[in-house]
Amino acid sequence: MTDISFHRAGLSLREARARLTAVRDGATRLTVLDALGLALGALLVAIIAYRALRETGQTNSYAALADAFLHGRTSVSACFDIDCVTKNGVGYVIFPPFPAALAMPFVAVFGVGFKGFVLLGLALAALSLWFWRQIARGAGLDDRTFAWFAGAILVASPLYYVTIRADGVWFFAQCVAFMLMSGALWAALVRGSALLAGAFMAAAFLTRQMTILAAPAIFLMLAREGESLLTIDRARVKAAALFAAPILAALGLYFAYNAARFGSPLDTGYTLLIGRQTGSIMDLRLNEHGAFSSAYVVQNLFYLLVQGFHVDFTGPKALTLGALDPFGSSLLAASPWLLLLLAAKADRRMIGAALAAAAIAGVTLFYHSNGFSQYNAQRYALDWLPLALVFLPGALKAAHGAVTRGLILYAGGLNLAAMVVLQLTRG
């Protein structure tokens, strides 16, 4: 019977055996890569857990701001990082307020010295992966491939670095914003809820201001497949109103928050950073060029797309392990699996996401900091990266399994290498 089947398929017995051997060898290769991926992922998550156990508290200014909110203030009595400002002798955390509101229950119980931000960041990452599981399931991604998708997000993207550094105010904010952006996409693509998607977007804006530029792309994802975008009917108007309402409320809240702190709805307090004489790279830039300038574009562009993983070797013979580049590695060098998106099917949702991502990335190219200090990451990309991840399940289904696994393993390996170098050179 088997010989007849091979004959009908136009295969000789020798050719059929060769094909069966190739299939068996391919399956074995994928199984080995799966085992390597599981081991690497477990090790990298264990490193996060180890760092969480070593968290000391009083390093994240959102704890101070949460404590201020609990006492009915917008000002802080103490600050734990360099980007706090003083106006009229009063200290302020200049960053948007939502992460502090999220931390309030923990600060209420454990005090301003709360030292669980890394674990909280890991919990937020887990919630993000739950959102992506639902999105990937809707895209028809099987469980085995999703495990690699989840690994790419957690341990082979900039999310890994901000999670392990969530005890710092900047990094914790990005853990929160990534979760909220993921939630907005889940609400739009899985739940089809304009109000819920808008609420997630509102909270994301109150965490990272640039995420508001993603709102049009996420609203586009609420449209049903095949539905004309030019159609304006009662259902479309209602969806737009439900989506916009929480975002507009968040804008009003943020303007009121700024006015209460600095006397003007549009004054975020960032200009008060200018004039500091610490001698740091960022202060030198701020003092000469301001927060936004075309002077920053070339370097920011190279680090976003081109710059590779770089460690300095010092000493007279350049043989002593030095420091990692604090400006980081480019997104494509650190997470080359993103190139798999080239295999994704282009449609109007992808075009909208690409335009929103380009707008967010384009604005930050003019910003004085690209995420400094960071290592093997471009963490500002997290403001728009969820828009790209929407299309990764389709790309993973189209890509070769071994190639996918190899790229993700490589990216995770770079994160492991970065952690080892940092431990050896920074402690």
Q: What is the tens place of the pLDDT at every residue in 83-136?
A: 899 998 899 999 999 999 999 999 999 999 999 999 999 999 999 999 999 999
The pLDDT, as a whole number, for residue 2 is 47
pLDDT in tens, 276-327: 888 889 999 999 999 999 999 999 999 999 999 999 999 999 999 989 999 9
Is residue 392, in this structure, part of any structural domain at all?
yes
Please tell me the pTM assigned to this model: 0.92
- Assess if residue 406 is contained within a domain: yes
Q: What is the pLDDT of residues 343-382, one digit of tens each?
A: 888 899 999 999 999 999 999 999 999 999 899 999 999 9
Residue 295 lies in a domain: yes
What's the mean pLDDT when you consider all of the chain? Answer: 92
Residues 171/374, Cβ–Cβ less than 8 Å? no
Residue 8's pLDDT is 52
Residue 3 in any domain: the answer is no
Domain count, the chain: 1
**331 within some domain:** yes
Buried (b) or exposed (e) across 89-101, using 16+ Cβ within 10 A? Answer: eebbbbbbbbbbb
Could you tell me if residue 53 is inside a domain? no
Q: Predicted confidence band at 1 (pLDDT cuts at 50, 70, 90)?
A: very low
> How far from the centroid of its chain's Cα atoms is residue 22's Cα?
38
Q: What's residue 197's pLDDT? A: 98
Does the residue 177 lie in any domain? Answer: yes
Residue 339 covered by a domain: yes
Query: DSSP string covering 183-244, please?
Result: HHHHIIIII--HHHHHHHHHHHHTT-GGGGGGHHHHHHTTSPTT--TT---HHHHHHHHHHH
Domain that holds residue 157: 116-426
Interval 22-51 mean pLDDT: 85
User: pLDDT band for position 275 (50/70/90)?
Assistant: confident
Measured between alpha carbons, how far is 24 from 27 in angstroms, rounded to an integer?
5
In sequence order, what are the residues at sequence separation of 6 or more whose Cβ sits closer than 8 angstroms to the Cβ of residue 237? none
Structure-model confidence comparison of residues 221 and 224, the more confident one: 221
- pLDDT, residue 11, reads 56
